[in-house]
Structure 1
Amino acid sequence: MNKSLKKYSLSKSFIFKQLVLYAGLLWVTHIHAIDVNDFECGFSITEGEQSIRQFTLTEEIYPCLKQRQHTDLAVINNEGQVVPFRLTVPVQVVDRIPYKQSMAFYQEPVISAYKTGDQIRRIAQLTGVTSGSESDKQWQEKHVFYSSLILEKRDNHDRLKSITINSRNGDQPSSTTVVIEASDDLQHWTTLLRPNQLFFLPGSQADLHNNTFNFTVSKASKYLRLAALSNIEDFSQNIVSITGTYERVKNTPPPLQWFTVSQLEPLEKSGEWLLALPDLLPISRIRFTPASNIVFYQGSVYAQPYINSVAEADIKNIRKGGKEKIKELIKGAHKSRSTPEHSWRYLSSFTQYLLQTDTGYTASPEITVTTMQSKRWKFIFEQPQMLQADQLPKIEFGWQPPQITFIAQGSAPFRLVAGSAVAIKRIPFPNHLVFDKSIEAVEILAKITTDKKSSADEEIMPVKTYNWHTLLLWLVLIIGVTIMAVMAYQLAKKMGSDNN
């Protein structure tokens, strides 16, 4: 009896475990899929071919946002699944500018070329030719190393990418094996390029040559040496010039997007003015255009951190109210709750001026603030006399558009959705997968508009859509609980009969 009962319990337990596992898999797929109807806006993304793609956020996205720090946007595939993505703000734009310049070169005397045992053993190690048991003198007599060419680099910090040796075209083929080394004092040398074949082969229609050497490593040395393993002394007579290809790296700050705001509104305290913004743009710069006959302003700037208190207060009600409650929250979440009861945050003091001199105008630098997303800004002017409304400056805000890098996982098309009552849980982006050359640039297209209500009847009786993942998940859980209840009842019944 006990054996059969034990076997029966194990069988039921195995079935229950399988149901729980299946329910877990359904739950995982459920939490990674989102309902696009829960977002205010959707934007299509241009197609691409590479797996890692990147686009820049545009100003049209920000009227849709309801949360700070871009926590209510996501990139989704055609199945509605959130793909791994990350949001970054470019700090600087790196421009790599290649250019060519002639290099001065000198013939090293034969007498000074590789006469010591250390140098002989070093070249032997580089070339793979070993002297074996022979003495250094006998080995040198058998394997003669000729003189070298010394190249002088430009006195700059640009990276040398390659060198090209230009020779006169002749009827006789010429070649040599060279090792390229670098030095700052002509005494201590470091290998940049291991043995490579340099040759010029004349042909009936065109010449075949291998005269360009690319460097995979860079070293900021003043001199280069082409150490020859054959008679480069005669060969150097045909060299016309040696050209170096350099790469200049120029780091520039990315361009800002500027927009002019509406007029300032006076507050209760004298000298304090309120400025309201319509969207949650990430502001990092402010600049003034002085009013007529006003050349100097000073004071401080404050902002209220944007807090969507309606959404935060009703997060707990989302689970209770279901999808209809979520939609109601989304429709009303766009109303700002940065009300006066929220404290002002000090950002920066400012001194703005536009002074005329004998050489023209001198303007103050822009006001730099910590990146802030707020709809309420306060400016306090500390002037000798209280400013009137027509004496206030025209204020411009500058912001740096962030970039989104995402993994094109799943089927296309991919979309950007923005504007949710709650923050979206993002899938961690594997940073080690990102390389400059592996990111494909794509763009955001126009906002996707959908007519959710096509008739008056639909307004009275909205069409309900069902999430089959959720329904199936609940069905599996109900079956599992039922099986557990039956198992518990039968187990108790068996135990009671055994006791009797």
Structure 2
Amino acid sequence: MKRFVAGCGAAVLTAFAIGLPVAAQAAPTPFMHRFALEFDGSAPYYVLAVPPAVYVASRRSDLGDVRVFNGAGEPVPYSLDAPVAHQAPTLRPVNWFPLPAAAANAPAATAGVSIAQDGTLRLTTAAANAGARDADLLDIGSAAQHVGALVIHVREDSYQGRVHVDASADLQSWRAVADASILEANHNGERLAQERIALDNLGQRERYLRLRWLGGGPQIASVDVELYPDEARPSDGARQWREGLVAHAGKTAGEYLFETGGAYPVDRLRIDVPQLNTVAQATVYSRPNGDVPWREIAHALLFRVAQHGEARNPPLEFAPDTDGQWRIVVDMRNGGLGNGTPSAAVGWQPARLTFVARGAGPFSLGVGNARVAGAAAPRDDILVGGEGGAGVKPAHLGAPLPVDENEARRAAGNADSTRRYVLWGALLLAVAVLAAMAWRLLRPQDTARS
């Protein structure tokens, strides 16, 4: 009899142990959001620069809950390449050539500059007087590294102005790549400077830059370029920004809080102070949610000053950070930011999603389930024969698709939690029943022995 009871118990427990994963696998993985995918032409592979809507819908900081489906609802192989980690740049000096106002938009040959066979620029006439020029021509070279920014060192103790930056590969066709403020101020031994011009959208072949100064150029002491390893260069998609994030005052003076609203891999943070002629030191923190302590991200000098125009502090740069909650703590010893609250903008390089167009369309993207495990494969494993030629074409996120209410509820966790409690309750009830049966079967035998 004991063997029979033990056998029954083992059979029931085994059935429940097998039944739990079977029940979990019975239905396809649910998602809270689904989007149509649109293509440019036909190809075996497609690549999508992950748009902000997917970051907002994702319930995982690594986008591990993203899946791609074909028209039959089957998941297809995909890879997901996150933005590269922030790396400290190296500085390299570059040559610059002052241009008089009349030659600012003229070809190099008529602006007192000659071009060698290797593309290097050389000055053929005397340099223009600093007070009579409003443009400079730069040759940043053809290095196999990514140029991330210009750093302009000004001779003057006091200068403030704005500059437009154009880029060209041949000195004939130009396109705008940046617009920035340059500031140099020294007072009682303290220095306030903004020398850096970010070049996030500079093309790989664009080695010539034209600086067009508004209101006259400064006396330049030297110019450096920030160089990053070529593998750190973003390969797909321009930098994305979320603007107009209004911070609200915290519990202590000088504390301001805001949320990004998505698991964006933020690596740029621009903080705009509310009042003109403000200068203040600040520290920036972040955290994923209110259950963990704040983590220090960066120190910043916040300013907004007016003198021959208006200059503002540049964006902060740091390693990609997917935290959703942010905190700015301003040093209040000099009055902080005064009245009003700052606003913020966050920027990031989008992740790159590459997938195989297996099966018939239409293809779709599902996202929004914190409990699913990431299923992305290395990109080299899914790209057979490399990514050159016409094998890989761009994809675009289309309109949101309807999601069944039950699927959305299961993806959010409610239905799965209920089912889990029911299954565990049934298991405990089965164990209790077996224990009662064993007790009843064994009790008469013990009484007979006594």
The TM-score, its normalising length taken from structure 2, stands at 0.47
More helix by share: 1
More strand by share: 2
